[in-house]
Amino acid sequence: MKRYIIYVIIILFFIFIQSTPFYENISIQDVYPDLILISFLLVALSLGPLAGEIVGFGVGFLLDILGGGLLGITSFTYTVLGYGTGLIGEKIYGRGILFPVILLFVGTILKAIILSLLASIFLKPGYFGFFSGGKIFLESVLNAGIAPFIFMLLSGIEKRVVD
Amino acid sequence: MNSRTERSRSLLILFILLFVSFAAMGFSQKKVVFNFKSIVYGLVYPFQMAGVKSVNFVENFFTSLKENKRLREELAQTKALLKEYERTLYDFEELKAENDRLRRLIGIQSHFEYDTVIAEVVAKSPQNFFKTIVVNRGSSSGVQRWMPVIAYQDGQKCVVGKVIDVQKNSSRVLPLTDQSSYIGAMLKKSRHSGILVGQGSFSDNVLLKYIDRNAEIEYGDPVVTSGMGGVFPKGILVGYVQSVVKKQYGVFQEAVVKPTVDLSRLEEVYIIVKKVMEDYHQILEE
């Protein structure tokens, strides 16, 4: 239980950080790393599919409310990602530092695909704004690059909390 | 068993959460009832787009091949047209240069204090020992034998020679460097006069002969026509002194003069139209 609370607090912290105007200054070609996605996926990896989908739903819903866009779009996406990542976490053992890198790279692209599909249904048919200008690929690279550091942070916290 | 139950539970919760999210999206768009048509359309549309784009790609490929051939032909035609325009432009620039040159000549001519006829150099004698210049003005333009010929080079009016042969529309000019050329000249500074004689094929310089032995001559002294002999008007530049030849005996000295006119660059000349005293020439030639 303590672990869940810690992880949720960490995710909420990153939501807060990413909501600040200061965060937009650390961007490359108007693309900044998605710390929320990084932390959420790494948490889901550790917690498993059930916890992953619940946390995903909660985080996504909160982001939809804070974002003011289409309600449910991010919760849907994060629920699917949380479940999938949790399943992977159950199946794969002894993963190294490279694993978070690959996870975030693929996860970011999957996020964009799911969001695009949902947007094309509910917003505008054929809406693929997330892929315009190749920005999603830059975001994938940024997320993958930062993932190991957050992974180490979470591992460190988990060790201290659990131990 | 536990893991299977757990998995079923997580799947169930998954579907519930997804349904809730879906419903939220639907209500968020003020769609109380799901519009399945638009959902299906939304799902199918990306694949439809992919298919259309693939077909378009193939179509465009073959079209581009045909277009490529057409563009090559158009390019060849355009290149040929461009070459023609370049030729026209070249001709235009030549004509413009000629026009500017003639205007300049007319402008120069107006500054002369005597009447002149502008003539173009059309030919030069190929012989080494008797070099003459052929110009495109003759008796029809009022040219007569022995008329003096001058030119304007490097901003200076200078002596070229004399007309020795006249046809209707052309004349032959004997340059001052020729051995049979005699021109009355003088040193501009000291005003000592002499006779300017050409050296023919021996040298491009001319000799100013019969200068008073006491005359002070220096390197670079300008030599001009003296007006004596009744051919050339007085004061037209001939050239500059290069060296002095003073013999041990005799009453005269000589000066080697480099002519100002460059006969190899001569394109047009001015024939001074004036009455020529033929007897003077005959005396000089004798």
Residue ranges and CATH numbers for the domains of chain B are 116-285 (2.40.10.350)
Q: Looking at the predicted structure, is the pLDDT value of residue A10 above 50? A: yes
For residue B47, the chain A residue with the least C-alpha distance is: A126
Q: Looking at the predicted structure, is the pLDDT value of residue A150 above 90? A: no
| Structure confidence at residue B125 (pLDDT) | 59
Buried b (16+ CB within 10 A) or exposed e, B66-88: eeeeeeeeeeeeeeeeeeeeeee
Q: Give the gap in angstroms from C-alpha B70 to the nearest C-alpha of chain A.
A: 34
CA distance B89 to B95: 10
- For residues B48-69, give the mean pLDDT: 79
- For residues B28-55, give the mean pLDDT: 60
For residue A87, the chain B residue with the least C-alpha distance is: B7
- For residues A19-39, give the mean pLDDT: 77
Q: Looking at the predicted structure, is the pLDDT value of residue B104 above 80? A: no
Measured between CB atoms, which of A57, A122, A126 is closest to B29? A122
Backbone conformation region of residue B250, classed left if phi is above 0, alpha if psi is from -120 to 50, else beta? left
Q: Residue B232: name the closest of B223, B220, B222 by CA.
A: B223
Q: Does ipTM come in above 0.90?
A: no
Domain ranges of chain A: 31-162
Contact A75 B38 (CB under 8 A): no
Per-residue confidence band for A16, with pLDDT thresholds at 50, 70 and 90: confident
Among B25, B37, B47, pick the best mutation site for testing chain A contact (most A Cβ within 10 A). Answer: B25
- For residues B10-39, give the mean pLDDT: 74
Q: B51-61 pLDDT, tens per residue?
A: 667 777 887 88
| Structure confidence at residue B156 (pLDDT) | 82
Point out which residues pair with B152 in neighbouring strands.
Answer: B157
For residue A81, the chain B residue with the least C-alpha distance is: B14
Under 8 Å between Cβ of A72 and A64:
yes
- For residues B223-229, give the mean pLDDT: 88
The vertex-B227 CA angle with B221 and B230, nearest 5°, equals 150
Range in A58-72, A76-90, A144-158, B250-264 the model is least confident about:
A58-72
Contact list, B43 vs chain A (CB under 8 Å): 117, 121
How many Cβ atoms sit within 10 Å of the Cβ of residue A104?
Answer: 29
Contact list, B6 vs chain A (CB under 8 Å): 50
Q: Give the gap in angstroms from C-alpha A38 to the nearest C-alpha of chain B.
A: 21
Per-residue confidence band for B32, with pLDDT thresholds at 50, 70 and 90: very low
Per-residue confidence band for B256, with pLDDT thresholds at 50, 70 and 90: very high
Question: Which tokens is A48 given?
Answer: 């498993």
Question: Which tokens is A40 given?
Answer: 């959420």
- Own/partner contacts of B277-281, CB < 8 Å, gap of 24 or more, are B277/B230, B278/B145, B278/B146, B280/B229, B280/B230, B280/B231, B281/B146, B281/B229, B281/B231
| Structure confidence at residue A76 (pLDDT) | 93
Estimate to the nearest angstrom the gap between the alpha carbon of B252 and the chain centroid: 47
Provide the mean pLDDT of chain B: 82
Per-residue confidence band for A129, with pLDDT thresholds at 50, 70 and 90: low
How many Cβ atoms sit within 10 Å of the Cβ of residue B58?
Answer: 9
Under 8 Å between Cβ of B181 and B198:
yes
Q: B114-129 pLDDT, tens per residue?
A: 788 999 888 765 555 4
Per-residue confidence band for B165, with pLDDT thresholds at 50, 70 and 90: confident
Residue type, A115: L
For residue A125, the chain B residue with the least C-alpha distance is: B42
